[in-house]
Structure 1
């Protein structure tokens, strides 16, 4: 077999085997790497490059070496799953860099991190003053995570005591002008419903680049033509306005009716409608 053909054949085999072994190792090998996983990735890549080019030795020996590395990596990962001490020894522990707004210089030196590098990482988290940080921790992966002091944290509905409705994964029901039947069936809708919603918006299926339905059944679209702004869905706002009108009508009836029993009934219904509005407002104003 000519050398070029043998190199091509070995390369093809190495690529297939490397892909299968990487799939076996899992997604962590292509995300944030620990120190050992970083070493493993470099070594496996080097071995995979060595297999097709070393024509003077038995190429299958490179595959044996690859297999040994994979087995060792799997063994290390299994040990990390079972033992906290093993995780701490192999991956290391997080290091606190800032505590209560105070930068810990000794820990910076321990991690060989300069003040400029720390401030750069803080700016990536949209933090520009070290004094605004309650905790900043360098994780074993090298990432720096930041917790702001309570007064500098963003205001959330929980801080205000407001309950909001749960959110679920939106379903893409239109892609590239084509209707996706499976996501439609997942949310219990059909093509007739989708065409009705598109008519309300005033858009045709073939003009929609992406159409998504949220957990409340609202359809939002993005058109191929970026110059055209797609109208915002108004179903929830319209429903809330209708409920508010019902409440106003009940109050008006309570004021205008002369019969005391009827007045009491309308007032009671008005109070019930107010409670209903308070309950559904977080759901309809998301």
Structure 2
């Protein structure tokens, strides 16, 4: 076999072997690798390059070596899942850099971080003033997590006591012009409903690059042709406007009638619609 063909065959073999070993180790990001996984990755890379280009090297011995270096972090991960002591030893623990608004200088020295590096990590979290930080911890991955003081945290809907409705993840019902039945079913919808919604927008499924349904059952689409303008859904704004008009009409009828019974009935139902609007407006407001 010519040398170049031998290199091609060896390369394909090791691509498959490395893929299988990587699948075994899991889906960790590079910054989240444990020490064992980091060491194994470096060594496996060295073994692979030596055997792929060194034609006198044994492929079987290389595969055995790769398997061993892959198996060690795999089994260490299994042991770590069952023992916190082993997990803390192998993966390490988080180090507190700021506590109750105070910098822990000794912990900075322990992790060999300078003040400039701490400030850089804070800036990556959009924090430019240490006085705003309540708590900050350096995780095992090297990422800094920051808890701001209460007065500097973003205001939430709960803080403002505004009525809101919890949302579910949107379902992708059309992809590359093809309808996906499983997400449609998860959303409690069917193809007939989808075709009716597409007709309202004036498009066909073949023209849709991506179509999604939100938790309110509203379809949004992205077309292959970006020059085509898709009208915004009008059902919710129209429904909101209709309810507001009904509530205003009932209040007007209550003022216009001389009958006490009718006046009380109109006012009562107007108040019911007003209460309903307060609950529905966060959902129907476009």
TM-score, length-normalised on structure 2?
A: 0.88
- Secondary structure of residue in 1 paired with 2:96: strand
Whether the 8 Å CA contact 2:171–2:184 is kept in 1: the answer is yes
Residue 51 (structure 2) pairs with residue 51 (structure 1)? yes
Q: How far did residue 264 of structure 1 move?
A: 2.2
In the alignment, the residues of structure 1 paired with residue 204 and residue 257 of structure 2 have an alpha-carbon distance, to the nearest angstrom, of 49
Change over 3 Å in CA distance of 1:130–1:241 after alignment to 2: same
- Secondary structure of residue in 1 paired with 2:32: coil
Q: Which residue of 2 aligns with 1:250?
A: 250
- Secondary structure of residue in 1 paired with 2:78: helix
- Secondary structure of residue in 2 paired with 1:158: helix
Q: Which residue of 2 aligns with 1:84?
A: 84
Residue 259 (structure 2) pairs with residue 259 (structure 1)? yes
Q: Which residue of 2 aligns with 1:112?
A: 112
- Secondary structure of residue in 2 paired with 1:189: coil
Aligned-residue Cα RMSD (Å) equals 2.5
Whether the 8 Å CA contact 1:15–1:48 is kept in 2: the answer is no
Q: How far did residue 123 of structure 1 move?
A: 1.7
Q: How far did residue 50 of structure 1 move?
A: 2.8
- CA offsets per residue over residues 176-202 of structure 1, 9 Å max, x none? 4x1424233442434443344344445
Q: Which residue of 2 aligns with 1:284?
A: 284
In the alignment, the residues of structure 2 paired with residue 246 and residue 20 of structure 1 have an alpha-carbon distance, to the nearest angstrom, of 65
In the alignment, the residues of structure 2 paired with residue 194 and residue 264 of structure 1 have an alpha-carbon distance, to the nearest angstrom, of 44
- Secondary structure of residue in 2 paired with 1:210: strand
- Secondary structure of residue in 2 paired with 1:68: helix
The 5 A counterparts of 1:135-146 are 135-146=135-146
In the alignment, the residues of structure 2 paired with residue 40 and residue 284 of structure 1 have an alpha-carbon distance, to the nearest angstrom, of 54
Residue 8 (structure 2) pairs with residue 4 (structure 1)? no
Residue 28 (structure 2) pairs with residue 28 (structure 1)? yes
Q: Which residue of 2 aligns with 1:180?
A: 179
In the alignment, the residues of structure 1 paired with residue 130 and residue 229 of structure 2 have an alpha-carbon distance, to the nearest angstrom, of 41
Q: How far did residue 158 of structure 1 move?
A: 0.9
In the alignment, the residues of structure 2 paired with residue 31 and residue 201 of structure 1 have an alpha-carbon distance, to the nearest angstrom, of 45
Change over 3 Å in CA distance of 1:172–1:86 after alignment to 2: same
In the alignment, the residues of structure 1 paired with residue 161 and residue 215 of structure 2 have an alpha-carbon distance, to the nearest angstrom, of 23
Q: Which residue of 2 aligns with 1:126?
A: 126
Gaps of 5+ in 1: none
Q: Which residue of 2 aligns with 1:236?
A: 236
Q: How far did residue 225 of structure 1 move?
A: 5.1
Q: How far did residue 144 of structure 1 move?
A: 0.8
In the alignment, the residues of structure 2 paired with residue 231 and residue 119 of structure 1 have an alpha-carbon distance, to the nearest angstrom, of 47
TM-score, length-normalised on structure 1?
A: 0.88
In the alignment, the residues of structure 2 paired with residue 238 and residue 98 of structure 1 have an alpha-carbon distance, to the nearest angstrom, of 51
In the alignment, the residues of structure 1 paired with residue 276 and residue 139 of structure 2 have an alpha-carbon distance, to the nearest angstrom, of 46
- CA offsets per residue over residues 61-111 of structure 1, 9 Å max, x none? 111111112221121101111111111111111111122333222222222
Whether the 8 Å CA contact 1:95–1:107 is kept in 2: the answer is yes
Whether the 8 Å CA contact 1:29–1:41 is kept in 2: the answer is no
In the alignment, the residues of structure 2 paired with residue 23 and residue 31 of structure 1 have an alpha-carbon distance, to the nearest angstrom, of 17
Residue 212 (structure 2) pairs with residue 212 (structure 1)? yes
Q: Which residue of 1 aligns with 2:152?
A: 152
Equivalent pairs counted in the alignment come to 285
Change over 3 Å in CA distance of 1:248–1:127 after alignment to 2: same
